[in-house]
A and B are shown apart, each in its own frame.
Chain A
């Protein structure tokens, strides 16, 4: 067993055939994390005692010859905005530094009952707001492929944990690309499910009309396995619908896949795309064509408005969701002297001290677009534009089954490169945002790059994105699995 090529599938086979114990694998991961994570910085906290106990339970199941689920004993990393009872859930913010989760998120309950092992909680941009994990209040996470570069964000810790072989799989959350963009930057698979497929109960809410939880894995097949186990109806999330998925997700048939038509939206391949990314996209398309899949050019004409639309709707929801994070309900804020303060003053002190600049900027922007006199010009307008963006996809999906795009316009950038210019940073999510606006499922898959990198630089990952129809995760996962088989 070698950590570097351990997938869920391989782990499962190995555990079943008693090649190793879940306990030994978990211990090996912790040993590796101890050294490797000093340079990568994927984890905010590791929870060895609890994880080893979970691993023992998996080993007892094996000893008793009980049936094992796919995730039994699998060492996983969890983004630190998802609650695991009794463990910290900082959301990358000083305002929640002292908070311990009072209950398990529904996704955690499901993973626990499947027997998964949680190694620790991973770093993120504060409240999942950012594209580089540089907005974390606690630490820097580095891209395991090049430590001078960002891992992407906001789920940068989860992406780096899987890419750096410090977890077999991880969970993240995706509001405008926060799973797919870091997956692309770190060279792992990241899936954002259909809006409503996975319960967000126990996810610290950012923008509720956009948020979804999804997996980071080393293979598309693994993403299917994690997704299937966390999806399904939960009464604690009123947007979560009755829809169950099965093995069609990880057992695709080539004859079905060949019948799918892939659309190439012209708006996603214009100027602003790095030549290196263009070249890689062409290589991937050639591979997919070799499977016999037909491609068709399509248009999503309102794409260019998606960024503005998103940066009105998202901050509006952020300003509302974060109103309750006041340094009182969820543990006190370190460094704030409470004595003698009136209630309003205490709120102000807690929030001003506890929130970082990006969070404050978005709260104020959200408050502005919702305020009397500006509501119609910004928020109501953006909601209408959002419908136009969603309708673009609806029309396109009458002609094609899946849409192919790059994940990001650039390769992973260096630390500090975009911090001083919020708009430039926001542009990193230009290809992922429209998907959330329309509530569609999409996957980021690392391209198997045949051409070398530009001279003087190491080879960096480039991801491609497959967008599916609502509830058709099986189409994008199916194409992805055959793409991986081609290059295996």
Chain B
């Protein structure tokens, strides 16, 4: 079921915001082919009447009450981690041209 090639690998890397070197491309193609080949064993398993397990347990989410609360997180150290700031705002290169 796998059909990964140089073109689709480039597309995937693009989606994931990664640039691969020529060498990485070659290496990953080979490795991914072998890993995806291993996954083929799942095809033989009949799962037509099985519900997907979407979390770590079947237990439900435990949400806190829908009320405002004081965040324990101080803003300053979070902002300090940011590479660039201007006039008290966090700064990145422009999103739109």
Contacts and interface: CB of A to CB of B under 8 A. Distances in A.
* Same assembly: yes
A378 B18 CA distance: 22
Contacts of B92: 328, 343, 346
Contacts, number: 168
Given A311-B39, A382-B42, A330 B81 contact: yes
A342 B94 contact: yes
Interface residues on chain B, size class? 35 or more
Interface residues of A, number: 76
A238 interface: yes
A365 B24 CA distance: 14
Contacts of A319: 16
Contacts of B52: 380, 383-384, 386-387
Contacts of A355: 18
A381 B81 contact: no
A459 interface: no
Given A242-B62, A326-B17, A381-B47, 12 more contacts: A86-B77, A99-B81, A102-B81, A194-B57, A210-B56, A238-B62, A240-B62, A308-B42, A331-B83, A363-B16, A381-B42, A423-B38
Nearest to B73: A103
Interface in B42-91: 42-43, 45, 47, 50-57, 59, 61-64, 72-74, 77-78, 80-84
A378 B39 contact: yes
A348 B18 contact: yes
Interface of A: 85-86, 99-100, 102-103, 194-196, 208-210, 233, 235, 238-242, 302, 304-305, 307-309, 311-312, 319, 323, 326-332, 338, 341-349, 351-352, 355, 357, 360-361, 363-365, 367-368, 371, 374, 377-378, 380-388, 390, 422-423, 436, 439, 470
Contact of B81 (A302, A329, A351): A329
B16 to A, nearest CB: 5
Interface of B: 1, 4, 9, 12-13, 15-20, 24, 27-28, 31-32, 34-36, 38-39, 41-43, 45, 47, 50-57, 59, 61-64, 72-74, 77-78, 80-84, 92-95
A338 B57 CA distance: 43
A194 B58 CA distance: 12
Nearest to B72: A103
A362 to B, nearest CB: 10
Contacts of A103: 72-74, 77
Nearest to B27: A357
Contact of A102 (B36, B43, B63, B77): B77
A395 to B, nearest CB: 14
